[in-house]
Amino acid sequence: MKTISTVKEMHSVSRQISCSGKKIGLVPTMGYLHEGHLSLIKKSKELCDITVVSIFVNPTQFAPTEDFEKYPRDIEHDNKLLKEYNVDYVFIPSLEEIYPSGYQSYVYVNEISKKFEGEFRPAHFKGVTTVVSILFNCVNPDLAFFGQKDAQQAAVIKQMVSDLKYDIEIVVCPIVRERDGLAMSSRNVYLSPEERTKALTLHKAILYARKLIEGKEMDPQKVIGNMKVIIGEEKSIKLDYVGIVNTYGFREADLIEEGNEYYILVAARVGNTRLIDNELVRLQ
């Protein structure tokens, strides 16, 4: 595994790989790797000749009140895992490499970024799409791999790729869960044992919603209402939103219809930790 820290070297390496006819897979991360990240790496190695993992904690996707400074970091542990998984290149640029002095340009995907996460974290997606666009330009991947846990993020990036005419396939990989059902996240480390138990209420609500939909409850508002009741039973959870959206375009569902795919979404605070989760439902 080779570590690259400059944009110039990453450009050079990616050009050489592309000229050799090999397919590049990019797995963008903020580090503090867990099984969810590793599932993306496995998929990249399955589909691509060369896998590049980027590690960059991106300040522009954090609001001033959020956890940029205390976001968990363990580069030594990350490097050990990446070597075990035979990753070809790890791209670890400094803040100055990505956002040098005088940086002025941002990428913003309009409508799809406004609701759900966009409502509660207004600048978040502008930061995400900007840094992902920069990484795409540095690595020039054929495929890029994202996790379903951040379903809206994946939808926003797909829209950006379509709008800006990137010749990149976006692969969205299923959520990886802890044994107790909690969706894997680098932020889970913030949860106390008691908070972790309470956090399982979110997954419980999602699973109940899925059961209702698979049982032919076609009114999304009734499903959402049931989710709110379940989550409301745990008084210490502060709910941000629940929602049901179609997977194409991330539009809120007015009616759940046969033959379509939907995400059941939830975001909430458990103690001081903000968690998101979702479930994909396919109606045959």
Q: What is the CATH number of the domain that holds 120?
A: 3.40.50.620
- 3 conformational bin, left if phi > 0, alpha if psi -120 to 50, beta if neither: beta
Q: Look at residue 26 and tell me whether its pLDDT is greater than 90.
A: yes
Q: Look at residue 224 and tell me whether its pLDDT is greater than 90.
A: yes
Rounded to an integer, the average pLDDT of 201-209 is 98
Mean residue pLDDT of the chain comes to: 97
Q: Look at residue 64 and tell me whether its pLDDT is greater than 90.
A: no
3-class SS string, the chain? CEEECCHHHHHHHHHHHHHCCCCEEEEEECCCCCHHHHHHHHHHHHHCCEEEEEECCCHHHCCCCCCCCCCCCCHHHHHHHHHHCCCCEEECCCHHHHCCCCCCCCCCCCHHHCCCHHHHCCCHHHHHHHHHHHHHHHHCCCEEEEEHHHHHHHHHHHHHHHHCCCCCEEEEECCCECCCCCECCHHHHHCCHHHHHHHHHHHHHHHHHHHHHHCCCCCHHHHHHHHHHHHHCCCCEEEEEEEEEECCCCCECCCCCCCCEEEEEEEEEECCEEEEEEEEEECC
- Note whether 160 and 49 are same-domain residues: yes
Domain of residue 9: give its range.
2-173
Q: Look at residue 67 and tell me whether its pLDDT is greater than 90.
A: no
Query: Where does a domain end: 107, 138, 173?
Result: 173
Domain count of the fold of the chain: 2
- Candidate list 37, 77, 124, 203, residue with the active-site label: 37
- What pLDDT digit, counting tens, does each position of 175-187 carry? 999 999 999 999 9
- Note whether 235 and 150 are same-domain residues: no
Rounded to two decimals, the pTM is 0.97
Q: Look at residue 284 and tell me whether its pLDDT is greater than 90.
A: no
What's the token pair of residue 188?
A: 């889970």
**What is the C-alpha separation between 46 and 25, in angstroms, rounded?**
10
**Known catalytic residue: 37?**
yes
- Note whether 157 and 237 are same-domain residues: no
**Does residue 62 lie in a domain region?**
yes
